[in-house]
Amino acid sequence: MGTNKEKTGMRGARPDQQPRIWDVPTRVFHWTLVILVAWEWASSHLGHGFMRYHMWGGYAVLTLILFRVSWGFVGSETARFAQFLRSPRNTWGYIRSWGKESHHHIHGHNPLGGWAVIAFLVTLTIQVGTGLFATDDVLTAGPLNALVGGRMGDLLTAIHKGNFDILLALVVSHVIAVILHRVIAGHDLVRPMITGRAARPVPGAISPRAFARPWVSVAALALSGLGTWLILQI
Ligand code: HEM
Ligand code: HEM
């Protein structure tokens, strides 16, 4: 039996009842990604003068992807792939537990959210990967466009444009899922992604050692930047 506060989403709960669940790098990654994806969309429609900045934004997204993949291995517990990736059977079991008490008692990504992370990373990789080879056939060409023939360049440009709609569909369903959690289950997922703290108690203790040291994130980001630079040297 939970307290009333638990049932109402713990507004005003004491800090010790709101344990840290998201580390700073994961949160900065998320909101920077949101801004950059919006910028990539806007800059691709602002005319030729903005394509240079569209490409810069794309390199920043590439660095974020490399960072998030490495963070999935060396980052804090809730950011690690091994912690949130579950088998399809397990994920189905989670979906079927909707409405039951056990359903929302998960710290970090739930099994469905875990697969959403992978879907985002794959779609973003396709977006950036094809962008590197894309061309508008007028003034702008991605840095690797010269490596492929005109036809292949056109195909990759078409995929670049088409894949953006898939990315958009993912974003829309992502935001709808967040709203449904709020409206139906009364759980605010957004505030934890901003403050890092769960809005209510979570099962099991979260050890302070579950959080990676800051220098690990700095090293991962530096290596990711280096990775982007190396890819651009191809
Ligand atoms: C371009 C738009 C967006 C993209 C590409 C995106 C992508 C992502 C990704 C990749 C994650 C996983 C975080 C990680 O573990 O690294 C995530 C989580 C999350 N996002 Fe977004 N997001 C977008 C927009 C938004 C918006 C507008 C909101 C607010 C309504 C939001 C709220 C959240 C929340 C609350 C989580 C954590 C979910 C959980 O508790 O498991 N996102 N998002
Ligand atoms: C997340 C990253 C990215 C997103 C969301 C994105 C999005 C888009 C979108 C929506 C368009 C189509 C605009 C239209 O309909 O005319 C576009 C065009 C283009 N993008 Fe990207 N892009 C990204 C990354 C990149 C990168 C990394 C490069 C190259 C370095 C790039 C190069 C181009 C080029 C050259 C075009 C022009 C294609 C044309 O107008 O025919 N993009 N991008």
| Token pair in block for residue 129 | 């990967």
Q: Exposure pattern of 175-198 as b/e (b: 16+ CB <10 Å)?
A: eeebeebeeeeebbbeebeeebbb
Binning pLDDT at 50, 70 and 90, where does residue 101 land? low
Asked whether residue 67 carries a pLDDT value surpassing 80, the answer given is: yes
Mean pLDDT for all residues in the chain:
89
According to the model, what pLDDT value does residue 133 have? Answer: 98
Q: How far, in Å, from the CA of 107 to the mean position of ligand 2? A: 36
**What's the pLDDT tens digit per position in 1-59?**
333 333 333 344 455 678 889 999 999 999 999 999 999 999 999 999 999 999 999 99
For residue 102, the model assigns a pLDDT of 60
Q: What architecture does CATH give domain 21-232? A: Up-down Bundle (1.20)
Of 52, 44, 177, 48, the C-alpha closest to 117 is 177
Between the CA of 230 and the centroid of ligand 1 the distance, in Å, is: 28
> Is pLDDT of 205 > 70?
no
- 141 band by pLDDT with thresholds 50, 70 and 90: very high
Q: What pLDDT, in 10s, does the model give residues 116-133?
A: 999 999 999 999 999 999
pLDDT score at 65: 98
pLDDT value of residue 190: 96
- The distance of Cα 84 from the centroid of its chain, to the nearest Å, equals 13
- What pTM value is reported for the model? 0.92
Q: Which of 230, 221, 231 is nearest to 71 (CA)?
A: 221
Q: Would you state the pLDDT for residue 103?
A: 62
Ligand 2: residue of 39, 40, 59 to mutate (most ligand atoms within 8 A of CB) is 40
- In the reported structure, the alpha carbon of residue 10 is separated from the centroid of ligand 2 by a whole-number distance in angstroms of 43
